[in-house]
């Protein structure tokens, strides 16, 4: 199965969203603890990944629900 087909699966979208959520959280914690004067770009970068995470997880849940309704 190629990567394009795998990324369209709802389970994979939810996993990618959770990965982005974890990455954003760890990045924000790691950078703010190391650099004192980095709040603007840190907030922008982590906000971008929080947005990607929320979007991917919502899309995966929505597609999973549609697939479950279609299968039953």
| pLDDT tens-digit series, residues 12-66 | 999 999 999 999 999 888 887 777 666 778 888 889 999 999 999 999 999 998 8
Name the residue range of residue 47's domain: 22-71
| Residue 46 belongs to some domain of the structure | yes
| Residue 11 belongs to some domain of the structure | no
Write down the pLDDT at residue 42.
82
Model pTM score: 0.78
| Residue 3 belongs to some domain of the structure | no
| Residue 17 belongs to some domain of the structure | no
Which span out of 6-10, 24-28, 65-69 was modeled with the highest average pLDDT?
A: 24-28
The 10 Å Cβ neighbour count of residue 27 is 14
Distance CA 53, CA 17 (A): 4
Write down the pLDDT at residue 41.
80
Torsion (CA) 7, 9, 14, 20 in degrees, nearest 10: 0
For residue 18, what are the CA distances in angstroms to 15, 36, 38, 69?
Answer: 5, 27, 25, 24
Number of domains in the chain: 1
Distance CA 33, CA 3 (A): 36
Report yes or no: 1 and 36 within 8 Å, Cβ to Cβ: no
| Residue 55 belongs to some domain of the structure | yes
Please determine, for residue 6, whether its predicted confidence score (pLDDT) is greater than 90. Answer: no
């Amino acid at each position: 199965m190629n990567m394009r087909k795998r990324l369209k699966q709802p389970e994979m979208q939810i996993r990618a969203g959770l990965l982005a959520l974890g990455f954003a959280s760890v990045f924000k914690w790691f950078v703010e603890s190391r650099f004192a004067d980095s709040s603007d770009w840190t907030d922008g970068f982590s906000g971008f990944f929080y947005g990607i995470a929320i979007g991917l997880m919502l899309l995966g849940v929505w597609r999973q629900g549609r697939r479950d309704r279609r299968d039953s």
